[in-house]
């Protein structure tokens, strides 16, 4: 049975008070609309996204993951579905309608709703039961339990307002039944809009069978303002964290651990609170992420320890330690068993295996070999005010404390630089480079000044 999905994403979202279209607000690494599309991807590989407000931005973000229908004027949910009508040819059996501002719906719930069409149902409604249903449309059933319609809060009688089963605004229809109902929708209401809920009432009046599938109330939440955005993010973050823990990752404080969609973490890795892992980061096995790091779009090997540091588009090899308070900027690569210590900044540089950069050092635009020692306060001076240049330090070199390597410069294998040197010329292999003023001691210089 072929099912097409129509996802409604045309609304302005005024309560968000934002220039960004509501459905593009990010949640745990994905725009809200992509969470909604992920829930239905097993039903329709290329759903129909109804766009309106901010449609160019929405279409650019979603790209080829959807087909598009444009609702130039927002005249209600029924009207939104009408704009997608051209996609509903006679090869389609069922039409699933969902909303792009419902990021908590799961694929499992969507599959249960679709399964309701395996029998003789003409349509099915996803419902939820709330302790306080104020503001929601109520599900009306007959004495046999069949759905007969949906009544909005403002139109409900006192008796109907006591009903706790609500409409989530997610539906599935037999195609021909939906098209018939759309032909009979009117905008004769106080909003002058075409409501898709009226299609349910129309089909019930015509003797159609309307099934009801109950979802967890939490999944039914729509996002209309920043408060609900935060609430949805908390739910998604908990789901992501629980998935990692079930896969063998230890989260010491899951409530204070922020892991985005698409992050991969190997088993037996331990993550302490206040770590932020984003951008498709990959963390290996048996790693230790101590508190306070932000790791963005980076790859971290096995048995790595990172503490209170920032890594952005960086790569870290096995058995390496980073931090505390280190900064690995884009295109930085550290090999295996490297030490990147406190207040070390790496930028667009390659660091070879077993090299030690213990503290207070800047390595920018450089290729550093294996088993190199960079002393405290070393600076790779890579910028002359107009251009940036690379420097090379070969294997087994020793760069003394407070050395400035003025690029482009090449330090040979096994060479040493004396502490406090400013190196402006290449250093041959196994040489000692000294580039500093000779010390002069002036005996008795202080005493006369004290007397004065």
Compute the distance between CA of residue 23 and CA of residue 350 in angstroms, rounded to an integer.
Answer: 40
Has residue 232 been placed in a domain? no
Judgement on whether residues 176 and 262 belong to the same structural domain of the protein = no
Judgement on whether residues 173 and 269 belong to the same structural domain of the protein = no
Provide Rg for the chain, Cα atoms. 31
Judgement on whether residues 349 and 203 belong to the same structural domain of the protein = no
Q: Identify the pLDDT of residue 451.
A: 67
- Annotation says 25 is catalytic: no
Judgement on whether residues 88 and 43 belong to the same structural domain of the protein = yes
Task: Report how far apart the first and last C-alpha atoms of the chain are (Å, whole number).
Answer: 102
Helix or strand holding residue 294 (H, E): strand 294-296
* CATH code, 270: 2.160.10.10
Q: Identify the pLDDT of residue 192.
A: 84
Has residue 205 been placed in a domain? yes
Residue 217 buriedness (CB in 10 A; 0-12 / 13-18 / 19+): middle
**pTM of the shown model:** 0.92
Compute the distance between CA of residue 54 and CA of residue 22 in angstroms, rounded to an integer.
Answer: 9
DSSP, residue by residue, 137-188: PEEEE-TTS-EEEEE-GGG--TTGGG--EEEEEEEEEEHHHHHHHHHT----
- Inter-residue contact 305 to 321 (CB < 8 Å): yes
Compute the distance between CA of residue 382 and CA of residue 406 in angstroms, rounded to an integer.
Answer: 6
Fill in the DSSP letter of residue 412: P
Has residue 231 been placed in a domain? no
Compute the distance between CA of residue 2 and CA of residue 109 in angstroms, rounded to an integer.
Answer: 18
Judgement on whether residues 68 and 179 belong to the same structural domain of the protein = yes
* CATH code, 124: 3.90.550.10
Judgement on whether residues 196 and 80 belong to the same structural domain of the protein = yes
Instruction: Give the ranges where 30-171 is alpha helix by DSSP (H).
Output: 32-40, 55-62, 77-82, 107-115
Judgement on whether residues 216 and 253 belong to the same structural domain of the protein = no
3-state secondary structure (DSSP) of residue 6: strand
Has residue 76 been placed in a domain? yes
How many domains does one find in the chain?
2
Judgement on whether residues 324 and 216 belong to the same structural domain of the protein = no
Range of the domain at 64: 3-220
Judgement on whether residues 73 and 206 belong to the same structural domain of the protein = yes
Closest to 198 in 3D by CA, of 144, 151, 140, 253: 151
Has residue 444 been placed in a domain? no
Has residue 447 been placed in a domain? no
Block means of pLDDT (10 residues each) for the chain, 452 residues, are 96 93 97 97 95 96 97 94 96 97 97 93 96 92 88 90 95 97 88 90 94 93 95 97 98 97 98 98 98 98 98 98 98 98 98 98 98 98 95 98 98 98 98 94 84 62
Dmax of the chain from CA atoms?
112
Judgement on whether residues 85 and 209 belong to the same structural domain of the protein = yes
The beta-strand segments (E) located in 13-142 are 26-27, 30-31, 48-51, 67-70, 94-99, 123-129, 138-141
Has residue 242 been placed in a domain? no
Judgement on whether residues 75 and 207 belong to the same structural domain of the protein = yes
> Which residue in the list 25, 79, 244, 359 is annotated as catalytic?
359
Has residue 198 been placed in a domain? yes
Query: How many of the other CB atoms lie within 10 Å of CB of 439?
Result: 5
């Amino acid at each position: 049975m072929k099912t097409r999905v129509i996802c409604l994403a045309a609304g302005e979202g005024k309560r968000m008070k934002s220039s960004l279209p509501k459905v593009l607000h990010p949640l745990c690494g994905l725009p809200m609309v992509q969470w909604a599309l992920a829930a239905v991807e097993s039903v329709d590989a290329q759903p129909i996204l109804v766009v309106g407000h901010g449609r160019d931005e929405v279409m650019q973000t979603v790209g080829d993951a959807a087909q598009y229908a444009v609702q130039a004027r927002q005249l209600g949910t029924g009207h939104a579905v009408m704009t997608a009508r051209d996609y509903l040819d006679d090869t389609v059996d069922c039409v699933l309608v969902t909303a792009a501002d419902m990021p908590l719906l799961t694929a499992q719930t969507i599959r249960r709703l679709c399964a309701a069409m395996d029998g003789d149902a003409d349509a099915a409604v996803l419902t939820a039961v709330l302790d306080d249903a104020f503001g929601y449309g109520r599900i009306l059933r007959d004495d046999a339990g069949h759905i007969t319609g949906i009544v909005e809060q403002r139109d409900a009688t006192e008796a109907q307002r006591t009903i706790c089963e609500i409409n989530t605004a997610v539906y599935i229809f037999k195609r021909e039944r939906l098209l018939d109902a759309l032909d009979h929708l009117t905008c004769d209401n106080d909003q002058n809009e075409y409501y898709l809920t009226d299609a349910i009432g129309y089909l019930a009046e015509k003797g159609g069978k309307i099934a009801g599938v109950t979802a967890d109330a939490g999944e039914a939440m729509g996002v209309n303002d920043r408060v609900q955005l935060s609430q949805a993010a908390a739910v998604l973050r908990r789901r992501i964290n629980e998935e990692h823990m079930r896969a063998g990752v230890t989260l010491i404080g899951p409530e204070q651990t922020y892991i985005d969609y698409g992050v991969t973490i190997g088993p037996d890795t331990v993550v302490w609170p206040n770590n932020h892992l984003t951008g498709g980061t990959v963390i290996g096995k048996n790693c230790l992420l101590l508190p306070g790091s932000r790791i963005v779009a980076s790859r971290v090997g096995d048995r790595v320890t990172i503490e209170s540091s920032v890594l952005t588009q960086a790569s870290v090899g096995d058995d390496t330690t980073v931090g505390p308070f280190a900064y690995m900027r884009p295109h930085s690569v550290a090999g295996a068993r490297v030490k990147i210590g406190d207040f070390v900044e790496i930028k667009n540089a390659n660091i070879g295996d077993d090299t030690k950069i213990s503290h207070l050092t800047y390595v920018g635009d450089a290729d550093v070999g294996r088993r190199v020692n960079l002393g405290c306060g070393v600076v790779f001076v890579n910028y002359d005010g107009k251009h940036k240049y690379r420097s090379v330090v070969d294997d087994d070199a020793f760069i003394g404390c407070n050395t400035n390597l003025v690029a482009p410069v090449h330090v040979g294998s096994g060479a040493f630089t004396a502490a406090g040197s400013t190196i402006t010329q290449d250093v041959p292999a196994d040489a000692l480079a000294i580039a500093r003023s000779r010390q002069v001691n002036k005996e008795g210089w202080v005493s006369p000044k004290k007397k004065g």
